[in-house]
Chain A
């Protein structure tokens, strides 16, 4: 069973420069696009989503990366995370990243395939989201929360305590695999 929760907030900015994409078949694919460094983030975000929802989106992560490298502008930042049999495959470009909570510790999810065990938790988000959180805070919330939505709400409380959610776009997805 896969449990996930997405969060998107404009954060007092004029427009959204981030986007979250989810594709449920054949495997759950989570993608976060960050166009913060682009002049026209909307068009790039649209292109990103079109590629993901097309047949190309079914192909391997390596192939997808090549397509994105060719099609997207240089300042585009993204993270693609695909749930495989008993693990997760991920690729990231730029400051969008994922962190994994495992055995009472937190670490950055590396590019490539990563085997998961039951009760591992993953948070994928833009750098702006992580800027307001310490690793220890994310970890403590993950260990306390019973569900993904609860975990996200706890992290939002931490961000709010510092920025009152006036900190620009916030985009995040947290997930848990019960293998």
Chain B
């Protein structure tokens, strides 16, 4: 216990005055905080319709156990996102063929040259990709090739384009879905077997069936594209990646590596470390662009 009677009268008065000032300051602080919160809530509600979905973007681009980095990525400038939209692409040089790194780099460089793309001109955009593929064909005559996945996001909508077996993954409601199907012989075999009323086990047995039926470097390739855009929602996560990512973290386990309050940077980092900790002795190059949709006043 303190014996305040030992303190001089002036000291006690000073302490009381100090306490009084502290209480005033504290009450003022609380009032200011409450007022700010109230104003923010009112402003947010008033301008709710003016908020837009924006892309929070991060990427990683890593070399696995391969001699060369055969993945190449492209991310469009973010400053004109409101008018031109946002484009992200990943190209993966085809294993077993020469010059994979040259072709994938050529693909992303060509995409950069053609930017900006018209959002609603999906066929025209696909034609640009076909043109790039034809040029690769003229140079290498099927001696080199690459896969390509590209997304184009404008406001709440997304178009995507795909050639080969790279990934466009949408994570919504804690579930990851591969949006583009893989253009390989397995697809053709499944179609035939299903039409015949048979099981499709056989299609997955033969490793050669994983061979691509379409890719950049094929003449007059058939670009897989959305004819109508897909609607995006707040907190959707889009991952544009090479198959090196899903080889190490299968699609159904990707969500286990993601915390939904993370931003794109955090998700990209977690995925990258997830792949590295697998220590796959045959790890392919792995690259991904992570896009998280956030609502903002921007």
Known pairs A140-B170, A156-B194, A165-B193; A146 contacts B227 (CB<8 A): yes
B88 at the A interface (CB under 8 A): no
Decide if A136 touches B190 in the complex (CB within 8 Å). Answer: no
Q: How many residues of A contact B (CB 8 A)?
A: 27
Q: How far is the CA of A132 from the CA of B157 in the complex (A)?
A: 26
Q: Tell me the smallest distance from the CB of B56 to a CB of chain A, in Å.
A: 20
A158: which B residues are within 8 A, CB to CB?
Answer: 181
Which segment, of B73-81, B95-103, B199-207, faces chain A?
A: B199-207
Interface assignment of B50: CB less than 8 Å from any CB of chain A: no
In the complex with contacts A136-B170, A137-B177, A104-B199 CB distance below 8 A:
no
Residues of A within 8 A of B181 (CB): 141, 144, 154, 157-158
Most buried by A among B170, B199, B204, B229: B199
Least CB distance, A75 to chain B, in whole angstroms: 26
**Residues in chain B near residue A104, CB distance under 8 A:** 157, 228-231
* Chain B interfacial residues counted at CB < 8 A: 31
Residue of B nearest to A152 (CB): B194
Please, how many angstroms separate the alpha-carbon atoms of A137 and B199 in the complex?
21
Query: B204 to A164, Cβ gap below 8 A?
Result: yes
Asked if B200 and A139 make an inter-chain contact with CB atoms under 8 angstroms apart, the answer reads: no
Given contacts A104-B228, A143-B227, contact A9 B204 (CB under 8 A): no
Q: Is the CB of B179 within 8 A of A119?
A: no
Residue-wise, chain A 29-64 has the 8 Å CB interface mask toward B (1 for contact) of 000000000000000000000000000000000000
B197 touches A10 (CB 8 A): yes
**Residue A28 interfacial (CB < 8 Å):** no
B179–A136 CB distance below 8 A: yes
Contacts of A9 in B (CB 8 A): 194, 197
Query: Which of B180, B191, B197, B200 is the one whose CB lies under 8 Å from A164?
Result: B200
Produce 1/0 per residue, A1-19, CB < 8 A to B.
0000001011010000000
**Among residues 92 to 130 in chain A, which have CB atoms less than 8 Å away from a CB atom of chain B?**
103-105, 119
In the complex, whether B178 has a CB less than 8 A from a CB of chain A is yes
Which B residues, 118 to 161, have Cβ-Cβ distances below 8 Å to chain A?
A: 157, 160
How many A-B pairs have beta carbons closer than 8 Å: the answer is 76
What residues of chain A lie closer than 8 Å to B201, measured between beta carbons?
A: 164, 166
- The reply to whether A143 and B228 contact each other, CB–CB distance below 8 Å, is yes
Shortest C-beta distance, A131 to chain B (Å), equals: 13
Determine if A134 is an interface residue (Cβ-Cβ < 8 Å).
yes
Contacts of B190 in A (CB 8 A): 153, 156-157, 160
Map CB proximity to A onto B184-202 as digits: 1 under 8 Å, 0 otherwise: 0011001101100111110
In the assembly, what is the distance between CA of A34 and CA of B29, in Å?
A: 66
| B199 partner, pick from A136, A140, A164, beta carbons under 8 A | A164
Whether the Cβ atoms of B172 and A136 lie closer than 8 Å is: yes
How far, in Å, is B250 (CB) from chain A's closest CB?
Answer: 11
Tell me the smallest distance from the CB of A17 to a CB of chain B, in Å: 15
- Which residue from chain A places its CB closest to the CB of B191 in the assembled complex? A153
B48 to chain A, nearest CB (A): 20
- The distance from the CB of B57 to the nearest CB of chain A, in whole angstroms, is 20
Interchain nearest-CB distance for B184 vs A (Å): 10
A-contact bits for B216-237, CB 8 A (1 contact / 0 none): 0000000011111111000000
In the complex, whether B208 has a CB less than 8 A from a CB of chain A is no
Among residues of B, the one whose C-beta sits closest to the C-beta of A8 is: B197
Output the least CB separation between B172 and chain A (Å). Answer: 6
With A10-B197, A140-B180, A141-B181 in contact, is A105–B225 under 8 Å at CB? no
Residue in B175, B191, B228 whose CB lies within 8 Å of A136: B175
Q: List 23 A-B contacts (CB under 8 A).
A: A9-B197, A12-B199, A104-B228, A134-B175, A134-B177, A136-B170, A136-B172, A136-B177, A137-B177, A137-B179, A139-B230, A144-B181, A144-B225, A153-B187, A153-B191, A156-B191, A157-B187, A157-B191, A158-B181, A164-B200, A164-B203, A164-B204, A166-B201
B interface residue numbers (CB < 8 A to A): 157, 160, 170, 172, 175, 177-181, 186-187, 190-191, 193-194, 197-201, 203-204, 224-231
Q: Which of A's residues lie within 8 Å of B, judged by CB?
A: 7, 9-10, 12, 103-105, 119, 134, 136-137, 139-141, 143-146, 153-154, 156-158, 160, 164-166
Extra 17 A-B pairs, beta carbons < 8 Å, given A144-B225, A160-B200: A104-B157, A104-B230, A134-B177, A136-B170, A136-B172, A136-B177, A140-B160, A140-B180, A140-B230, A141-B181, A143-B227, A144-B226, A153-B187, A160-B194, A164-B199, A164-B200, A165-B199
